[in-house]
Amino acid sequence: MKKPGMSPQARRGMISKIKIGQKQLGMTDDAYRDMLMDRYQKNSAATLSFRELVDLVAHMEALGAQFISKQAPKSQQIRDPQSRLIRSLWLQLHDAGLVRDSSEAAIAAYVKRQTGVESLAWLSSPQASSVIESLKQWLARADQPVV
C-alpha cells in the first residue's frame, strides 16, 4: 500500500526502526500489536501512515527505546580530480615512508597547515593546486618519482 510523500526505502527504514525499538523495549508480539491497536486501531506497522510511523517512533523513544546508528560514518571524501590527486600524492609519501599516517585526518591536518582551510572539500582550485605542488616538491626532494 503506497503512502504519498514517503519513498518505499524510507518506509522500510521507519518500520525497521520500530522493530528495533520493539526489541529494545522487550515487547512481545502480542504487546506490540496491542499497542498498535490502542494507539492507531491497526494491528501492523505496515498499515500505518507516515505520520503514524513518526508518532510511533516518538512514542517508543518516550518509552526508552534509543535509535542510535552503530554504523560507521561514510567517508566524506570529495571526488573532484584535485582532491583525488592530493590523496594519491599523500599515499605515495606514505608508501615511501615519508609520512606515518595515511588517514583522511592526516591529509586534512596537512591541508590546514598549508592553507589554513579546515577541510579538503573547502579548498579553492588555486589552494588545491598549491597543496598539490607542495606534495610534488616533497616527493622530488626525497628522490621519489611522482606517479
Q: Where are the domains of the chain?
A: 8-63, 81-141
User: Cβ distance 111 to 117 under 8 Å?
Assistant: yes
Q: What is the mean pLDDT of the chain?
A: 86
Residue 59: partners with Cβ closer than 8 Å, 6 or more residues away: 39
* Buried/exposed code over 29-56 (b: 16+ C-beta within 10 A; e: otherwise): eeebeebbeeebeeeebeebeeebbeeb
pLDDT at 26 > cutoff 60:
yes
pLDDT at 62 > cutoff 70:
yes
The mean pLDDT of 32-55, rounded to a whole number, is 92
